[in-house]
Structure 1
Amino acid sequence: MHFTIFTDCNAIRATALKKDLHPRVARWWVKLQDYDFTIEYRPGSKMAYVDYLSRNPLDKVCTKSDRFCQEVLNTPDDYNEYQIKNDLVMTKGQDPKCFVPVAARLQAMCLYHDKSSHIGWEKYIAKMREELFWPRMGQSLKKYIRNCRQCVLGKSHTGRRAGLWQRGERPSSALDVWHIDHAGPLVKSHGCTQLLVVIDGFSKYCSLRPIRKKSTEDTIRALSLVFEQMGKPRRIIADRAAAFTSLTFQNFLADQEVQLHHIATGMPRGNGQVERLMRTVFNLLRASLTAENEKNWDIHQMFCASLLTQD
């Protein structure tokens, strides 16, 4: 008698088409040649009823003792969206879902997660929601997988990783360490589109200098004016922008006998003092500038600097 086998294991179907098989697999396949059958592949999402047979059935005693199940069993007219099937509360529709009582939820989560090789929480939640339901189900599933001991100890974690805390060197006096960065682009104001932000690490004294663009020449010109006004620091900390990593800029600071330190790429918190200052500067500019005078921000930035440092 000819029959058809539906399976979600595509490797079995591929075995029937291979010419060269591993000897052990070939012996298994020879034993099946006495039967007249064909193999067809079907995705696992369309064979949920087969997966259900490999799982333990829910305890009917737990279902009958659950308060929600008792309400549905006793007053079915008040719960039209549910139906009673084999003493189980299920939703109506083409794809009915089974209600899981409180006493059986831990067992159900264990079967779907622990017995499925500890799959990720997105697949785990999606798979359970295809067949089961209960109130605030997503919160319960996330809490369970967050506290799964095997997942916590055995899986490698992806995404952002917490870096090791390192306490930076504290400046001992003014003109010891400066933090610099560019802020912009801004609306063109008298030919300027950027701000060179300079802050002293010890006194928190800052200076804002409008520049035309983030070029090495404009940066050196603005920084020279800051040197004339405030003096020269021992060291300057900057990010790896092209203007700060250029050989011309490095030679300029070397001639001024100023050390240059670049922070790591993609780590703006390494220059956190100036990053925090720029947020304050932008807030002040947004609050003080309007559509009529937004093209005069290079004048208003002096007002912002006076509020910040009495510059």
Structure 2
Amino acid sequence: MSYFDPNKETMLIVDASPVGLAGLLTQNGKIIAYASRSLTDVETRYSQTEKEALAIVWAIEHFHLYLYGQSFTLVSDHQPLETIFNSPKAKTPARIERWRLRLQGYNFKVQYKPGKVNAADYLSRHPTPNTSIACKHSQLAEEYVRYLTDNAVPKAMTLNEIADSTQKDKDLQTVITALKSNRWDKYESNTLDTFSRLRYELTVVPVNDMEIILHDNRIVIPKDLQMRVIDLAHEGHQGIVRTKQLLREKVYFPGIDKLVEQTCKSCIPCLASTPKNVFEPLQMSEIPNNVWENLSMDFCGPFPNGYYVMVIIDEYSRYPVIETLTSLTAKSVIPLLDKTFSIFGIPKELKTDNGPPFNSGEFRNFADNMGFKHRKITPLWPRANAESERFMRTIGKAIRAAQTEHRSWKQEIHTFLRNYRATPHSTTNVSPAELLFGRKINTKNAEHFNK
């Protein structure tokens, strides 16, 4: 057997006998994988054409991970299938037509070869008994993928870890020696040239029995931790600009911008979930005078299992609050607003669209009792509520990215919010959390507070 190579020509050989189905995945005549199964009692009563067609459907779906998105040749010893599957206009029985529709996502051509040269013939006549083994294999594969994705989450970084790694980094140890002796002319390297130009902004700080380097109040990260630092900042799948902003608040290393750009541009969940909509620029709204005075609110969804996301944005600090709910009635929305106002206080104005919960007498009474002004935007012009609309695109991307990575989107929202609230906003140049609370909040990246 050989390893699968997506760049090589792929061939799937299938066969059906009176007792079973078989499939053989090959590349350049070498076997990649093979499988077989017994026919059920009902399937044994299919016509031979239906059995052979079933072998095609079963084998392709069985080897889905190899074949999806790949052009391949399917070899069968049943000549009618060549016409049935290669001709879109072929008239077929309802059962085979349903199977053809199931396979529309695959790119393949059926090729006829006589049974005497069909390598899958023996397997179909000696199939694996129908047990729950296939189901267990599928379940194990899913559990393994889930295990990998769960363990792919980068862990928070500590100062001790950075200090330990700094101790093992030859370049940074040379920088520490040069800083202490103030003798830079003894050393020559591109890395040291960079640090030499920054020498008056660098400080060596003790951490337990080890040392780290600070560039102003930012930690200098050794090479073996640089990718992990970027992964931590990119949790929640913020874009290139916001990932850079979050990193610049806390850490430094030469080439940080280039590495962030490479990482974000190669992030598959980001590529799969970033919308391409581009609008003409509008006139910027006036920023309120204080935090939590003017709020924007909207809903995003529905998402899996019928959930919606309620988004509230403070227009001064750009601080977002998110709640999940399954109904958009005033009865469902009001308790969540009441909960939010009990934590952050009652605003002066709440701006929303003209959706169902906001047109009810119940919501008007709630606004009157709380004492805030409820302002509804121009109908059919969602960009009038720009702050919440823009944030909904951002949160929608984070949720789609979580689904792409097979993670719990409800859990990943918290990861996204933690980084979003700690990242300086492009309008204010200060993080939303710092504007609202008057202090910076901690993230999973290590931080040194006192220089």
Q: Which has the higher contact order (CA 8 A, sep 6+)?
A: 2
TM-score normalised by structure 2 residue count: 0.30
Q: Scaled by the length of structure 1, what TM-score is found? A: 0.43
